[in-house]
Structure 1
């Protein structure tokens, strides 16, 4: 299981109005236990695109990135980890400036 240590959130502008709803980019610093498959001593963060359209909300895309190398890891979040990230995004999306 992962733990969230810090984050930033930014509104993604859609200048052409192609997408429905709004998108927000979250950079979420995470910590994983040493025995976890995604653990890296170089540090990790999740780049998540959070989509909000009225009452509907979802993680449209996410990547796990090694902080020191900026290398995208070939791992997906487990279901409960993705639910943790979604709940976190639901709690903090409004902090982004539009």
Structure 2
């Protein structure tokens, strides 16, 4: 499986390269939040209990019981969504903009 052979940051870089038009790279770097604002944003997200069989769509690992819920309703591991939001300002699944 691809995700087990690549580090999480490599998958984020791959996703970014595959989904971003070439001329928009400069614009994205301006939109990326700093670490403090990302941490605050994730801290403000509701923590929800995830039932058996649920898995994080970022790392494809099962939940240990709880996850962070983005405004669109999707749920991810806290560390996964923190790292994702340090690179993007959108939900990893539906790409809806995440507003602080």
TM over 0.5: no
Higher helix share: 2
TM-score by length of 1: 0.23
TM-score by length of 2: 0.23
Higher strand share: 1
